[in-house]
Amino acid sequence: MNSHILEARLTHDEIIRKYDRIASIYDLFGILMEWKARQRALNLASIHEGERVLEVALGTGLNFVEILKRNSCGWVDGIDISMKMLRRAKKRIQRTGKENYTLYLCDCRHLPFEDGTFDVLMNQYMFDILPVEDFVPILEEFKRVLKRGGRIVLVNMTKGEKWLNQIYEEIYKLKPPLLAGCRGVFVQPFLEKIGFKEIEREFVSQLGFPSEVVRGFKISD
């Protein structure tokens, strides 16, 4: 399989504008094509009651409400750079009646948390819209805020393993806006590079849409 990652097409400001614009229709895509991978990620994260969890780029909160369900006695923080995605997330979360969370409008390159704060960090379908040069600095920031022994669970669009999956990468090449700027990526080598251990990767396909679910552990700083 070709492991070359295509160039990202959206700048930071374009990402904010894009996700502000598509916030109201995002869930359709998020449920139809990504639901299976999200479930797998939640299983791999195996969040225990009482843990401190961060979801980076929580979007409209599809995964965030699932984290809250699994962690009534802990605390969950969520961040995103799109105000409109965050507003949608807030409405969805308010319907759960849970109050053990905080949401922040901020950039994941500079997280507003102390070193070693979180037991678990989840992040879904964000690296697949970002330039490859950003992967290492962002993952270093994720590692900084994790506790020793903490786990990271990332979900992204990846390259297809069968012809049906590969259609999506072809769509990206022709018209990146149709996939909201997402193209296939592989994050495992980047996690290895900055010292995450015991890394596992799984491939998940839904309606042919290819996702990877990757989990790693922070063993040392």
Ligand X SMILES: C[S@@+](CC[C@H](N)C(=O)[O-])C[C@H]1O[C@@H](n2cnc3c(N)ncnc32)[C@H](O)[C@@H]1O
Residues that bind ligand X (CB under 6 A): 15, 19, 30, 57-59, 62, 79-82, 85, 107-109, 124-126, 180
Query: Which is nearer to ligand X, 138 or 191 (by Cβ)?
Result: 138
The number of beta carbons lying within 10 Å of the beta carbon of residue 180 is 20
Query: Which is nearer to ligand X, 124 or 165 (by Cβ)?
Result: 124
Cα 162 from Cα 92, distance rounded (Å) = 35
Cα 92 from Cα 39, distance rounded (Å) = 18
Query: Which is nearer to ligand X, 15 or 191 (by Cβ)?
Result: 15
> In the complex, what is the shortest distance from the CB of residue 62 to ligand X, in angstroms, rounded to a whole number?
5
> In the complex, what is the shortest distance from the CB of residue 8 to ligand X, in angstroms, rounded to a whole number?
10
Coil/strand/helix, residue 186: coil
Cα 203 from Cα 123, distance rounded (Å) = 16
Give bridge partners of residue 146 from the DSSP assignment: 118
Q: If we measure between CA atoms, which residue out of 159, 185, 182 comes closest to residue 172?
A: 182
> In the complex, what is the shortest distance from the CB of residue 220 to ligand X, in angstroms, rounded to a whole number?
26
- Those residues whose C-beta lies under 8 Å from the C-beta of residue 80, and which sit 6 or more positions away, are 57, 58, 59, 86, 89, 103, 105
Query: Which is nearer to ligand X, 80 or 212 (by Cβ)?
Result: 80
- Those residues whose C-beta lies under 8 Å from the C-beta of residue 66, and which sit 6 or more positions away, are 38, 42
Query: Which is nearer to ligand X, 78 or 160 (by Cβ)?
Result: 78
> In the complex, what is the shortest distance from the CB of residue 123 to ligand X, in angstroms, rounded to a whole number?
7
Give me the residue whose beta carbon is nearest to ligand X: 59
> In the complex, what is the shortest distance from the CB of residue 107 to ligand X, in angstroms, rounded to a whole number?
5
